[in-house]
Amino acid sequence: MPGLYYEEFEVGKTIAHGPRRTISESDNQRFCDMTMNQQPLHIDEEFASQTRFGERLVNGIYTMALAVGMTIPDTTDGTAIANLGYDDVKHPEPVFHGDTVRAESTIVDKRETSDGERGVVTMAVEVLNQHDEVVCSFERTALVRKRDHAE
């Protein structure tokens, strides 16, 4: 399903994205390996067992990246020109191996570009676990096509 054109984004609208993902130990390990993040809290069970969490945590950047991917089909799939920024990133609760996450996006701002041919849309994204706890939140700003100027 294609994403939304600028005209279709409604400030205040919340989109509950359908995809969910149960995060495995393998997901977390591969992400840490690919990004060269060898933080023992993510990859060393013995180390992590001695922390206040008692076990390894899923890399927070993986949680955020996963959420971005979950939101694309309903927002900017095929209509994005560029992602302009990610702001106000928070990780209020930990994510553990075996947690299932989902995402919701609320459109918080939109404006046309000065040439009137594109638009800038800002979405507040929340990532929730299987207990409906917010485990990550951030704002994503994207430059998107207008329907009249689709390529």
pLDDT at 116: 87
Average pLDDT, the chain: 95
Give the tens place of pLDDT for each residue, 80-104. Answer: 999 999 999 999 999 999 999 999 9
Q: Measure the CA–CA gap between 94 and 22, rounded to whole angstroms.
A: 14
User: In the chain, where are the structural domains located?
Assistant: 6-23+64-149
- What is the percent of the chain with per-residue pLDDT over 90, rounded to a whole number? 93
CA nearest to 150, candidates 126, 123, 117: 117
Average pLDDT over residues 46-73: 97
pLDDT at 151: 57
Pairing assessment for the beta strands 134-145 and 100-112 based on DSSP bridges: unpaired
Give the tens place of pLDDT for each residue, 111-131. Answer: 999 998 999 999 999 999 999
At the top level of CATH, which class does the domain 6-23+64-149 belong to? Answer: alpha beta
pLDDT at 60: 97
